[in-house]
Amino acid sequence: MKYPFPKVDLHFHLDGSMVPEVTWKLARERNIKLPGETLEGFKQHLVETADCGDLGEYLARFDLSTAILQDETALEETIYTTIENVKDYLCYAEIRFAPQLHTRKGLSQREVIEAVIKGKKRAEKDFPAIRVGIILCCMIADYDNSEENFETVRLFEEYCNYRDIVALDLAGHEDLVPMSHYAPLFVSPKAKGLPMTIHAGDDGKPENCSLVIDFGATRIGHGHKCYYNKEVLQKVIDTKTTLEICLTSNVQCKTQPSYQEHPAKRLLDAGVKVTLNTDNMILGNLTLLEEYDKALSEAGFTYNDLITCNINSIEAAFMPEEDKPPYIAELKKYYR
């Protein structure tokens, strides 16, 4: 195997990483029309639309999977098969989703969370080589969804246990609404010392990275734009904040012009805790192994950098601290 070391993906979205065969089956069962007349046609559509004009176009592609994931059976089967799809090459993953997006046909956010936990636990029992944590996302929206967001926060505080529900996030079209608008969501989790990773510094301002650190985030979803503001970059370094870098997603969404110009390697060399992740495996038409290929061939990373990024991932993972040393010790064996 080209990358024999243990591999970690800290940033991938459930609704962007549905297995195509499962998506097709669940859609047909629910009489939901997908692009393409056949499964192969649908797969080709995913390939052809992976490269988007901007982040807004990219996010609109989630409408297909969201329409399907509106009942407990679909949610449980999707999390199970998504974990099954990565079990052979990931040792640890954190999968995120927004409960409020799955309540359109009558489910409560609690029922959504319970269905996902049920499928996740079943997958871990059947595939013991991989361990999974679930991250709950609040959502940035151009309408007042504060009630839904605060409900997500309340449920996160209730469920957070470092085994199943492991962290809180804020996702969506960054700067659609000023990031400061969402500060109240994080007051209680920060006061309680609960784990948070927040999307920032992707298609929005570098200063958003500084803001979410103040909110209490120890990790930033994407965060690559911090490179363009020296004060923000220094704050990221000084606070040891981890960046969940998703190279291909950033290029596809046009938040970076190319792999070659992506600052990820420069961030790593500057002392930032960089990790490499997929974001949306199926919508982005990639695996983590392919992301590593791009990191090596086009983004300036070395083989040893990949080991370091995975060590950074384990160190920043929302799992009990006492569980981390064996992963790190194993990874260090693979340095060349």
User: Taking 90 as the threshold, does the pLDDT of residue 175 lie above it?
Assistant: no
What's the confidence (pLDDT) of residue 290?
96
Range of weakest confidence among 29-38, 124-133, 217-226 = 29-38
Task: Assess if residue 22 is contained within a domain.
Answer: yes
pLDDT score of 46 more than 90: no
Number of compact structural domains in the chain: 1
Confidence bin at 59 (pLDDT 50/70/90):
low
* 304-336 tens-digit pLDDT: 999 999 999 999 999 999 999 999 999 999 999
Give Cα 221 distance to the centre of its chain.
7
Task: Note the pLDDT tens digit of each residue in 26-44.
Answer: 999 999 998 888 999 888 8
| Cβ proximity of 239 and 214 under 8 Å | no
CA distance 211 to 195: 16
Answer whether residue 57 is part of any domain.
yes
Which residues make Cβ contacts (< 8 Å) with residue 305, sequence separation at least 6? 265, 268, 295
Average pLDDT over residues 67-75: 97
Residue 3 lies in a domain: no
Share of the chain above pLDDT 70, in %: 96
Query: Cβ(154)–Cβ(113) under 8 Å?
Result: no
Looking at residue 30, its pLDDT comes to 94
251 pLDDT above the threshold of 90: yes
Domain that holds residue 235: 8-332
Contacts of 280 (CB under 8 A, 6+ apart): 12, 13, 16, 17, 249
Q: In whole numbers, what is the pLDDT of the chain averaged over residues?
A: 94
Say how far apart CA 134 and CA 123 lie, in whole Å: 13
For residue range 97-111, list pLDDT tens digits in order: 999 999 999 999 999
Q: How many C-alpha atoms does 79 have within 13 Å on its Cβ side?
A: 30
In a domain, 208, yes or no: yes
pLDDT 10s digits, 77-94: 999 999 999 999 999 999
Residue 220 has pLDDT above 80, yes or no: yes
**What is the CB-side half-sphere exposure of residue 59 using CA atoms within 13 A?**
13
Question: Looking at this protein, which amino acid is placed at residue 102?
Answer: H
DSSP reduced 3-state for 164: coil
More confident residue, 285 or 218: 218
Confidence grade of residue 288 (pLDDT, cut at 50, 70, 90):
very high
Q: Domain containing 264 — which CATH number?
A: 3.20.20.140
CA 220 to chain centre: 10
Confidence of residue 48 (pLDDT cuts 50, 70, 90): confident
On whether residue 43 sits in a domain, the answer given is yes
The partner residues of 92 in beta bridges, in order of sequence, read 8, 131
Residues 273, 209: Cα–Cα separation, whole Å: 14
Whether the per-residue pLDDT at 49 is higher than 80: the answer is: no
Give SS3 for 229: coil
Does pLDDT of 50 surpass 80? no
Half-sphere exposure of 77 (CA within 13 A, CB side): 18
User: Is pLDDT above 90 for 58?
Assistant: no
Position 2 in a domain: no
Q: What is the dihedral of CA 214, 220, 221, 222, to 10 degrees?
A: 120
